Amino acid sequence: MEITREDKLEQLERILQSKALHGSENLKAFLRYVVVNAVDHCEIFLKEYTIATEVFGRDRYYDSRNDSVVRVQAGRLRSKLLEYYATEGNSDKVLIDLPKGHYTPAFKYNLKGNGSIPGAAASGSLVASTARRETDAPRWGIAALVGLALLSTALSLLVLFYRSEARRNYPPANTRSPEPPDVLAASPVWGDLLHSNEPVLVAFSNTLFRGTAEMGMKLLKPLDSPERNYGSPPLPEGANDKAQGGGVVTEHYTGVGEVMGVYALGDLFCRFGHPFHVKRSLLLNWDDLKTENIVVLGSPAENFLLRDLPQKQDFVFGVVKDERQNATFGLTNTVPRAGEQKTYLARQEGPSRSQISEDYALISFLRGLEPQRRLVILAGVTTFGTQAAAEYVTKPEYVKDLVDHLNIALPGEAPRLPSYYEVVVKVKVNGGVPLQISYVTHHVLE
């Protein structure tokens, strides 16, 4: 039986006014925050970082590795809830629990409670009503029960019929492929993430601009934001935020390549039948990297959290010199091997960014902050390269090319790729559309 919103909030107030939480203002704020979030935003899973900043007043640079306030307070709150329901709340209608390992509360009706539980009385009295004498119940009530029983039987037979038809028309398990061919082909690349039971978090870059759409905007310099020395992301505080040097900071825009990348990844995950959710990169935090498998679309120029990853990488984005010794944004090979370039730059045929004719992209499969987590970064020197990186790891023809270049399996074995690696690809662009993507080189990481 689904618990009503009113019952959940009424029970919350009961607990907040209880002796168990008397004087514990932090725990009251914690409980109120998670319950109201679960009631009004049930699709949002609360993270440790969010609770630390929203409830306990930690700043935007909060790092759960160095500050365990949320975990400690969650443990205290669980103990207080047990204490409450063992004493004054023993007969309450609704039970509120905070399961270990989660910050989203669970609700259920207390079958031992004295409160009236919607549906419980009706279901509990159903057996009793059938045992009553005919004089105790109207004849139409008995007829209704008989009708419901017949309808239930008919529905059951219908379900059995369709199951039988499905088994008859679907090939036996030993004669069919368990997965479509394109999904099987992508398994060496995505298997670690998509064979997990947990959804993948897709984070798309949303770049910081100075100015507004009405008055004109200017892109803040890549790798030159005020918060460039911090590992945690700079969470936007509103449209009136001021960047260094003055001007309103706008953070509601993203590149075309990132948008197309989200579409390509969503299509892949749908083909796998695997859940995923999407988040702006400026809202990413260290807690996400510890608890989720993540695919990031875009480079550290927009994704501040990627600048301080613990795993060393051979290819890094940054400011480099072009052929005319002008400073520009590009990809640097820190350990170039024989035949490899030291830098990879986009080629632009005119003053407009829409006139880019060539770009490079980096595909990185890295470990997360926890051993069982994975981090994938798909980033181009420009937004067109980011789109190409997403297509290279999702479109069947490109996935095959990637597997052919990185396969480390012995002859006769199923294809197998290194655990961690970086791949550089070259992109031909025409009219802002990536038309041709080709493998350049790759490095296997530790």
**Distance, C-alpha 364 to centroid of its chain:** 18
Residues 6 or more apart whose CB falls under 8 angstroms from that of 389 comprise 261, 361, 362, 363, 378, 379, 380, 425
Burial of 404 (0-12, 13-18, 19+ CB in 10 A): exposed
Predicted confidence (pLDDT) per residue in 411-430, tens digit: 989 899 999 999 999 999 98
The mean per-residue pLDDT over the stretch 77-82 comes to 92
DSSP label of 242: B
Rounded percentage of the chain residues whose pLDDT exceeds 90: 37
Rounded percentage of the chain residues whose pLDDT exceeds 70: 77
Band of residue 170 on the pLDDT scale cut at 50, 70, 90: very low
pLDDT at 65: 81
What secondary structure does DSSP assign to 412-438, as a single string?
TSPP---SSEEEEEEEEEETTEEEEEE
pLDDT at 126: 31
Band of residue 221 on the pLDDT scale cut at 50, 70, 90: low
Mean per-residue pLDDT of the chain: 78
Show the tokens assigned to 124: 């509990």
pTM of the model: 0.59
* Residue 372 amino acid letter: Q
Band of residue 1 on the pLDDT scale cut at 50, 70, 90: low
pLDDT at 44: 66
pLDDT at 169: 40
The answer to whether residue 143 scores a pLDDT higher than 50 is no
DSSP label of 88: T
CA-CA distance, 356 to 349, in Å (whole number)?
6
pLDDT at 334: 95
pLDDT at 61: 80
Helices (H), 17-138: 25-40, 48-54, 69-86, 120-131
pLDDT at 405: 96
Band of residue 364 on the pLDDT scale cut at 50, 70, 90: very high
| For the chain, domain boundaries | 5-109, 182-444
The answer to whether residue 198 scores a pLDDT higher than 70 is yes
Residues 6 or more apart whose CB falls under 8 angstroms from that of 427 comprise 358, 359, 360, 361, 380, 384, 385, 388, 434, 436, 437
CA-CA distance, 117 to 442, in Å (whole number)?
62
The answer to whether residue 7 scores a pLDDT higher than 60 is yes
CA-CA distance, 83 to 146, in Å (whole number)?
46
- The residues facing 298 across adjacent strands are none
- Rounded to the nearest 5 percent, the helix, strand and coil shares of the chain are 40, 20, 40
Q: State the Cα torsion 223-227-228-229 to the nearest 10°.
A: 180
The mean per-residue pLDDT over the stretch 70-87 comes to 91
Q: Are strands 343-344 and 327-333 parallel, antiparallel or unpaired?
A: antiparallel
The mean per-residue pLDDT over the stretch 20-36 comes to 90
